[in-house]
Chains A and B, each alone.
Chain A
Amino acid sequence: MSKAVRDTRRAPSAPPPRRPSARDDNGRPQRGEPQASLTITAWAIVGSITMLFFGLVSAYSGRRGGMDWGAVAAPPALWVGTAAILGSSVSLEAARRALARGAQRSFVAQLLGVAALGIAFLAAQISAWRALADAGVFLASSPHSSYLYLFTGVHGAHLAGGLIALGVVLSQGRQGAYDARHRGGVDAFAIYWHFLGVLWLTLFAVLFAF
């Protein structure tokens, strides 16, 4: 292997500040771009978490009819949390629209709103747990309480992971890493975050509406 050949191969490791064209003329991510890879991975993670909850909700529905079910009323804090997570999705869409029209400051501000509402959601979940504990309802109190703690806990853990991802997106966004054509990270995060919102609504309904 000659030196010249090696140098040729190394040349791409000094990349231009921004990749030439991440999207085609229709705004769709091009194959082979890391941006599109991120959204594919986000969908795969969504599929994986769906299966996790598919298993858990199946277990729940099998147990639901038992004589010892011990139904628990929904703590009011869960409604606050539900409002927060819905608001965060709205805020996230506003952020993406801001990005699409090039309003970088508004984009970052809206993302900060998502973070604040996400943290508010977790706070609401924790206060719901505290309310349950004050009422003497613990993890092992009844089948319903076990599943209530389990679903909120596992969902909350995934949302906390989403907040970490949001931290990465925010720090990149503040440095201006995203624009209308380069937004794979934002899109991937949006898939994951909206999914957690839908998942929460589903779990909330499963736990208390049926």
Chain B
Amino acid sequence: MATATAAHPDAHAHEDPQSFVSKYIFSYDHKVIGVQYLITSLFMMLIGGALAMAIRTQLAWPNSGVLKADSYLAAISMHGTIMIFFVLTPALIGGFGNFLIPLKIGARDMAFPFINMLSYWTYVVSIIPLLASFFVPGGPLSGGWTAYPPLSALRGAAPGSGLGQDLWLLSIAIFLISSLFGSLNYLTTILQMRVRGMTFWRLPLTVWSLFIASVLALLSFPVVTGGALLLLLDRIAGTSFYVPAGLFLGGQLVDHKGGNPLLYQHLFWFMGHPEVYIVILPPMGMVSDTLANFARKPIFGYKAMVVSMLAIGVLSFLVWGHHMYVTGMHPMLGTAFAAMTLAIAIPSAVKTFNWMATLWRGKIYFSTSMLFSIGFISLFTAGGLTGIFLGNAALDIALHNTYFVIGHFHLVMGAAALFGIFTGVYYWFPKMFGRMMHEGMGRVHFWLSLIGLYGTFFPMYILGIGGMHRRIFSFEAFGYITRMHDINIVITISAFMIFIGGLVFAYNLIWSLTHGPNSADNPWRATTLEWSTPTPPPHGNWVGEVPAVHRGAYEYSVPGAKDDYIPQWVTPQKAGVVTEH
């Protein structure tokens, strides 16, 4: 046995950690790193959420004095930055990616455990300048989370354009490096360390989605890194990559000449759009796994699911112009970007219909995780359909920078990705900590979130069509928006529901860690490889040899089998039925 393990190609070398520090702080273990990522990003979610509550209070009751005009712009900029770069991306890619990839493909750890540890700690380092920017003169950046020049390029342009903007750039640069480390690891691990029998067409969709998201990150983040470098040079070295000639700031002619601020938008959105899919693909994968499990049916159209994710990945690089319809681009170019954008609706619809077909006539078990999975489909659809409106240049020119856009992207990527995170936490919590989560509190969390999210973001479509601008500090400035005061109050109350739901979730996490009932090794009767490990899995994941894989990831309710699921590691002889995957 010992020699068999040693000869196994993925037997890997690092020792069992001994001290507390090497076990839980500077750990090389992918499971610990995944949990570290999750906890850190949930902490950041609390900060981003608190900012959102302040923003909403200001918008419902503009005279409440929660925020001033300057700090309002800083709050929305930081809310966006934190939620996208420091919550959704690290929780999904860093958290679930780290925890699940080796467990699901049958590897004892990542290909490069040291770089993996480095990735997490670089992420932590990137948070420090970001949070520090709250406490510098002028406050954090206030030109929006996209940091468009010239507001972001000239020090005196806005209160946050000074040190706050510098710290933001530093923070994002470090974050991008951290993400690069992670992507390199995932890619290599999935290509190299799959256990015997785990072919690409047997990979669970979660792994596929993380694989594609890693490729997207690897190829799109460097472009914005270059863009940020140019911005930095414009700020500190007096170059004119972005700052145009003839610009007056405070009555003074700016010294720069001949730059083009639109260049930044091109570089930014070349990353920005794939980033949307980096965030939404992993939830798509995870939800596919949980839906199949809780409906006790194979995922409908497995290969179509993979191909549509690949198509989404490729198309995501060709649509960045749809963020820039109002920049005066040639109508032909706008039409081309619109056509590409609308083409994304096809693979997205394939996925949505496949999820619904998976539920069709399933023996559905409404666990909290399943509720969040179904909620994911609902939110993704409600948000995605308005993407068809915004993808059309002609409509977008009217709706650009209104609350219609805010409603759209919050539902389709913010809320949907959030539901993906919750689905994952409720589903894999037993594997992470060996205890089940409290289902009752989970249901309260779900309903508060679902009603709260719809109550918050659906009325925003109406606000947007009514003409409410997305970066407006107080509706009292414009008479026609004053009439929408009531809608704003409804939205704010709904937003508080989401936040309260989040607090219930936080309490549930802490309660379940200490009081949750002990979990069996495979509490959901699931087919994928992570459930063949002891709960929680030890260092190295499997005791003894890693089980070989004999079948696809979705063998639920196979006719003739004695159970309604056949795990991937069960041999054909033991399963008693022959299946074709």
The interface of chain A, by Cβ under 8 A from chain B, is 1, 5-6, 8-13, 15-16, 20, 30-34, 36-37, 40-41, 44-45, 47-49, 51-56, 58-59, 62-63, 66, 68, 139-140, 143, 146, 150, 154
Contacts and interface: CB of A to CB of B under 8 A. Distances in A.
B193 interface: yes
B111 A37 contact: yes
Contacts of B184: 41, 44-45
Q: Identify the interface centre among A36, A45, A48: most chain B CB within 10 Å of its CB.
A: A48
A1 B542 CA distance: 12
Interface string B543-555: 1100000000000
Contacts of B222: 48-49, 51-52, 55
Given A9-B540, A143-B240, A154-B226, 16 more contacts: A1-B538, A1-B543, A8-B1, A8-B2, A11-B5, A13-B13, A36-B192, A37-B111, A44-B218, A47-B218, A52-B225, A54-B223, A59-B230, A62-B260, A63-B260, A143-B258
Interface string B1-16: 1100111111111111
Given A32-B193, A40-B191, A143-B258, A47 B238 contact: no
A109 to B, nearest CB: 30
B239 interface: yes
A140 B255 CA distance: 11
A34 B2 contact: no
B263 interface: yes
B397 interface: no
B35 interface: no
B454 to A, nearest CB: 38
B172 to A, nearest CB: 15
B6 A33 contact: no
B220 interface: yes
Contacts of A5: 543-544
Interface of B: 1-2, 5-16, 111-112, 180, 183-184, 187-188, 191-193, 218-227, 229-230, 233, 237-241, 257-258, 260, 263, 266-267, 270, 534, 538, 540, 543-544
28 contacts: A8-B544, A9-B538, A9-B540, A11-B2, A12-B6, A13-B13, A15-B6, A30-B9, A32-B192, A33-B192, A36-B192, A37-B112, A37-B192, A41-B112, A41-B187, A44-B183, A47-B218, A48-B222, A51-B219, A51-B220, A53-B226, A55-B222, A62-B263, A63-B241, A66-B258, A143-B240, A146-B239, A146-B240
Contacts of B257: 68
A40 B190 CA distance: 11
Nearest to A15: B13
Q: Identify the interface centre among B220, B534, B543: most chain A CB within 10 Å of its CB.
A: B543
Q: Which 6 A-B pairs have the closest CB atoms?
A: A32-B9, A52-B222, A55-B223, A11-B2, A140-B238, A55-B226
A11 B260 CA distance: 62
Contacts of B263: 59, 62-63
A40 B538 CA distance: 28
A55 B270 contact: yes
Tell me if A's interface is mostly helix, strand, loop or mixed.
Answer: helix
A47 B192 CA distance: 18
Contacts of A53: 226
Given A37-B112, A59-B263, A139 B5 contact: no
Contacts of B258: 66, 68, 143
Contacts of B540: 9
A13 B14 CA distance: 7
Nearest to B14: A13
A36 B193 CA distance: 11
Contacts of B13: 12-13, 15
Contact of A140 (B6, B183, B237): B237
Given A34-B111, A37-B112, A68-B258, A10 B192 contact: no
Nearest to B180: A48
Contacts of B111: 34, 37, 41
Given A52-B225, A55-B227, A139 B9 contact: no
Contacts of A143: 240, 258
Nearest to B2: A11
A153 B258 CA distance: 22
Given A40-B192, A47-B219, A140-B238, A33 B187 contact: no
Contacts of B266: 58-59
A30 B540 CA distance: 22
Q: Identify the interface centre among A8, A16, A31, A32: most chain B CB within 10 Å of its CB.
A: A32
B512 to A, nearest CB: 24
B238 to A, nearest CB: 4
Nearest to B219: A51
Contacts of B233: 139, 146, 150
A10 B543 contact: no
B47 to A, nearest CB: 30
B2 A55 contact: no
A139 B238 contact: yes
Contacts of B1: 8
B187 A40 contact: yes
A127 to B, nearest CB: 21
Contacts of B187: 40-41, 44
A56 B540 CA distance: 42
Given A37-B111, A40-B187, A12 B226 contact: no
B483 to A, nearest CB: 44
Contact of A146 (B15, B241, B267): B241
Contacts of A6: 543
A58 B267 CA distance: 9
A37 B10 CA distance: 11
B237 A139 contact: yes
A168 B258 CA distance: 44
Contact of B192 (A1, A8, A31): A31
A56 B226 contact: yes
Contacts of A140: 237-240
A121 B223 CA distance: 26
Given A9-B543, A15-B13, A31-B9, A41 B188 contact: yes
A35 B41 CA distance: 33
A33 B241 contact: no
A12 B5 contact: yes
A56 B267 CA distance: 9
Contacts of B237: 139-140
Nearest to B227: A55
A201 B221 CA distance: 24
A155 to B, nearest CB: 12
B263 to A, nearest CB: 5
Contacts of A34: 111
Contact of A48 (B8, B9, B219): B219
B5 A8 contact: yes
B193 to A, nearest CB: 6
A121 B225 CA distance: 25
Contacts of A41: 111-112, 184, 187-188
A8 B540 CA distance: 12
